[in-house]
A = this chain, B = another copy of it.
Amino acid sequence: MAAKNALYAQSGGVTAVINASACGVLERARTHPEKIGKVFAAKDGIFGILREEFYDTSCERPQQIAALRHTPGGAFGSSRYMLPRPEKDPVVWQRLGEVFRAHDIGYVFINGGNGSMDTCQLLTRLEEVAGWPVVSIGVPKTIDNDLACTDCSPGFGSAAKYLATSIREVGLDVKAMEESTKVFILEVMGRHAGWLTLACGLAAEEPGDGPHILLVPEVAFDETRFLDKVRETVATVGHCIIAVSEGIKNADGTFYAEQQKSETYGFEQLGGAGPRIAELIRTQLKMKCHCAVADYLQRAARHLASRTDVEQAYAVGRAAVGMALGGLTGVMPGIVRISDDPYVWRVDPIPLAGVADLEKLPPREFVSADGFGITDAARTYLLPLISGEDYPPFHNGLPAFARLNYVMVEKKLPPFQVS
């Protein structure tokens, strides 16, 4: 049997290290020409598969493939489009079959989070639905750390390291300025899971160190208790450093930051949870308050990646190819923790059925009794994930990232409209 081609797609929000997984996939696939022909990379994720828009990665030089390991963003483009079930949208599935057949694709690697793992799992049904067999392997990725059946999600450790470092640094700044600025708030990504905000807690080492308050979606936000805690912290420490998940919720389960208008400015409250908390403190406590919203910076900050995270991202990319070559399908390389200190881990195949569309939330014992901090158990879990540095090369004062050729594969099919 001639070697089949492979298709790699990035899916969902990108991270500082998703390209390290791409690097792992591409480098390993290149060493097995007897089984894997060309590796195509879908442009803009699943959209690119349906639109038959692929880059031919065989046109990329090895040095640039290697440079993906230290390049943030998603080198081939990503999207949030997820595959519908075959029963719901047979037209899409007919198209999938045509695309895979036209380009002789025998392997597909979807690099994404829990929604993408569902898409990946569905693709194992391509033979049944469209008469074209394909080996489908997931490659885990998400800064949210909410993938099930893996010790952690590649992408999380680097974002966590960046946030914990930033809040330690800014804590020293605010401490110096406490004659005027009393409160600093950092808004952290995480609509449902508070992992990243909990990781900010690692910045505190000694009593009095910030952050002093963590607000996570898992603990209902209580304005009164929160304001009391801020007042008390400012009174004892002199200032108060807060990390807040964008997705904190009221007691009734609604998002705190979706309560509309700001009376002060007359227009919609813009930023979300961070600015709203800042406004609350300014109006209720009359304290000078600064607020940073890291937004995409936290998931793009490759300049401060966790070496552990980079190694894991690369390893799951390589392992995905290894699993495909070993005859597996419908699995994802998951990270298994063998010990905390030293952190020892290995990569095992995990059936996608146990991962797809599930959400792993932080256990209650990771949050301190008052709901505002982290416990030693959380530290033990989190610390290894941010350990080690892995700086990109710098040129002229700025990080030098991969520059790809982006050679498109010639289309063989008529256009297809993705709704």
Indicate if A278 sits at the interface (CB-CB under 8 A): yes
**Given A288-B269, A389-B394; A78-B303 close (CB under 8 Å):** no
Between A and B, 11 residue pairs with Cβ closer than 8 Å are A14-B173, A165-B398, A169-B300, A180-B264, A206-B403, A270-B278, A275-B275, A290-B295, A293-B293, A294-B297, A387-B396
Near B by CB (< 8 A), chain A positions 120-152 give: none
Min CB gap A14→B, angstroms: 5
A102 near B: Cβ within 8 Å?
Answer: no
Contacts of A300 on B, CB cut-off 8 Å? 166, 169-170, 172-173
What are the residues of chain B within 8 A of A293 when measuring CB–CB? 271, 291-293
Do A10 and B275 form a contact, CB below 8 Å, given A292-B294, A391-B389? no
Q: Could you tell me if B388 and A397 are in contact, using CB atoms closer than 8 angstroms?
A: yes
A55 contacts the other chain (CB 8 A): no
Considering the complex, which residues of chain A in the window 56-72 have a beta carbon less than 8 Å from any beta carbon of chain B?
71-72
Q: Complex formed: what's the CA distance from A81 to B180 in Å?
A: 10
Give chain B residues whose Cβ lies under 8 Å from the Cβ of A269.
Answer: 288
Q: Does A285 contact B (CB under 8 A)?
A: no
Query: Contact between A184 and B296 (Cβ–Cβ < 8 Å)?
Result: yes
For chain A, the bracket of interface size reads: 35 or more
**Hey, which bits of chain A sit against chain B, CB under 8 A?**
10, 13-14, 16, 44-45, 47, 71-81, 161, 164-166, 168-180, 184, 186, 202-203, 206, 260, 262, 264-265, 267-271, 275-276, 278-279, 282, 288, 290-297, 299-304, 306, 383, 386-389, 391, 394, 396-399, 401, 403
Q: How far is the CB of A285 from chain B (nearest CB, A)?
A: 14
